[in-house]
Amino acid sequence: NYAEYEHFEDGAESAYDGAMVAVGNTDGNKGLELYEEMLRSMMEKVDQGSLGSFIQCIVCKRSYKSAQTTNLKNHIEAKHIDNVRFTCSVCGGIFSSRASFRTHSRNFHKEINV
Protein backbone atom coordinates (compact mmCIF):
# COMPACT_ATOMS: atom_id res chain seq x y z
CA ASN A 1 0.00 0.00 0.00
CA TYR A 2 1.47 3.32 -1.04
CA ALA A 3 0.37 6.81 -0.19
CA GLU A 4 2.02 10.18 -0.14
CA TYR A 5 2.65 11.33 3.40
CA GLU A 6 3.06 14.99 4.22
CA HIS A 7 3.50 16.77 7.52
CA PHE A 8 2.97 20.49 7.80
CA GLU A 9 4.08 22.57 10.74
CA ASP A 10 1.97 25.67 11.27
CA GLY A 11 3.22 28.29 8.84
CA ALA A 12 5.96 26.04 7.43
CA GLU A 13 6.53 24.03 4.31
CA SER A 14 5.95 20.31 4.39
CA ALA A 15 8.69 18.38 6.20
CA TYR A 16 8.13 15.27 4.03
CA ASP A 17 6.68 16.83 0.89
CA GLY A 18 6.19 14.23 -1.81
CA ALA A 19 7.69 11.35 0.15
CA MET A 20 6.21 8.04 -0.94
CA VAL A 21 5.50 5.82 2.02
CA ALA A 22 4.70 2.14 2.20
CA VAL A 23 1.80 2.10 4.63
CA GLY A 24 2.55 -0.47 7.30
CA ASN A 25 6.14 -0.94 6.14
CA THR A 26 8.99 1.30 7.25
CA ASP A 27 11.76 -0.39 5.25
CA GLY A 28 13.81 2.22 3.45
CA ASN A 29 11.52 5.16 4.11
CA LYS A 30 12.83 7.91 6.38
CA GLY A 31 9.56 9.93 6.34
CA LEU A 32 7.47 7.08 7.69
CA GLU A 33 10.19 6.09 10.16
CA LEU A 34 10.15 9.61 11.61
CA TYR A 35 6.37 9.55 11.76
CA GLU A 36 6.39 6.17 13.54
CA GLU A 37 9.01 7.52 15.95
CA MET A 38 6.77 10.50 16.70
CA LEU A 39 3.82 8.17 17.38
CA ARG A 40 5.94 5.99 19.68
CA SER A 41 7.12 9.08 21.56
CA MET A 42 3.48 9.81 22.41
CA MET A 43 2.97 6.37 24.00
CA GLU A 44 4.16 5.00 27.32
CA LYS A 45 4.00 1.62 28.99
CA VAL A 46 2.20 1.51 32.34
CA ASP A 47 2.11 -1.34 34.83
CA GLN A 48 -1.28 -1.49 36.49
CA GLY A 49 -0.48 -4.13 39.08
CA SER A 50 -2.81 -7.13 39.00
CA LEU A 51 -4.45 -5.81 35.81
CA GLY A 52 -1.19 -6.25 33.93
CA SER A 53 0.71 -4.07 31.54
CA PHE A 54 -0.94 -1.36 29.44
CA ILE A 55 0.17 1.28 26.96
CA GLN A 56 -1.22 4.76 27.17
CA CYS A 57 -1.35 8.06 25.34
CA ILE A 58 0.88 10.58 27.11
CA VAL A 59 -1.42 13.43 26.07
CA CYS A 60 -4.77 12.28 27.51
CA LYS A 61 -3.78 9.10 29.41
CA ARG A 62 -6.19 6.90 27.40
CA SER A 63 -4.93 3.34 27.88
CA TYR A 64 -5.07 0.13 25.89
CA LYS A 65 -3.88 -3.41 26.52
CA SER A 66 -0.26 -3.84 25.49
CA ALA A 67 -1.28 -5.97 22.49
CA GLN A 68 -3.38 -3.08 21.10
CA THR A 69 -0.55 -0.83 19.92
CA THR A 70 -2.29 -0.22 16.57
CA ASN A 71 -5.43 0.98 18.36
CA LEU A 72 -3.37 3.46 20.38
CA LYS A 73 -1.61 4.71 17.23
CA ASN A 74 -5.01 5.19 15.55
CA HIS A 75 -6.21 7.11 18.63
CA ILE A 76 -3.16 9.40 18.60
CA GLU A 77 -3.52 10.09 14.86
CA ALA A 78 -7.23 10.84 15.19
CA LYS A 79 -7.19 12.91 18.38
CA HIS A 80 -3.77 14.51 18.85
CA ILE A 81 -1.95 14.96 15.53
CA ASP A 82 -2.86 17.84 13.25
CA ASN A 83 -1.40 18.87 9.93
CA VAL A 84 -0.63 15.35 8.71
CA ARG A 85 -2.16 13.87 5.60
CA PHE A 86 -1.96 10.71 3.58
CA THR A 87 -2.76 11.03 -0.12
CA CYS A 88 -4.04 8.10 -2.16
CA SER A 89 -1.73 7.54 -5.13
CA VAL A 90 -4.64 6.14 -7.18
CA CYS A 91 -7.33 8.83 -6.89
CA GLY A 92 -5.69 11.69 -4.98
CA GLY A 93 -7.99 11.39 -1.95
CA ILE A 94 -6.57 13.00 1.18
CA PHE A 95 -6.84 11.38 4.63
CA SER A 96 -5.80 12.48 8.10
CA SER A 97 -4.83 9.01 9.33
CA ARG A 98 -3.51 5.73 8.03
CA ALA A 99 -6.62 3.99 9.32
CA SER A 100 -8.90 6.18 7.20
CA PHE A 101 -6.59 5.69 4.20
CA ARG A 102 -6.71 1.88 4.65
CA THR A 103 -10.52 1.96 4.89
CA HIS A 104 -10.69 4.06 1.72
CA SER A 105 -8.35 1.66 -0.11
CA ARG A 106 -10.43 -1.38 0.87
CA ASN A 107 -13.71 0.29 -0.09
CA PHE A 108 -12.76 2.05 -3.31
CA HIS A 109 -9.70 0.31 -4.74
CA LYS A 110 -10.32 -3.37 -3.96
CA GLU A 111 -9.13 -4.43 -7.40
CA ILE A 112 -5.88 -2.49 -7.08
CA ASN A 113 -3.15 -3.30 -4.58
CA VAL A 114 -2.78 0.36 -3.50
pTM for this prediction: 0.63
User: Which residues have C-beta within 8 Å of that of residue 22, sequence separation ≥ 6?
Assistant: 1, 2, 29, 32
Concatenate the DSSP letters of all residues of 10-43 into one string. Answer: TTS-BTTTTEEEETTB-TT-HHHHHHHHHHHHTE
Quick: pLDDT tens for 45-67.
998 888 888 999 999 999 999 88
Can you give the pLDDT at residue 95? 86
Calculate mean pLDDT across residues 27-46.
81
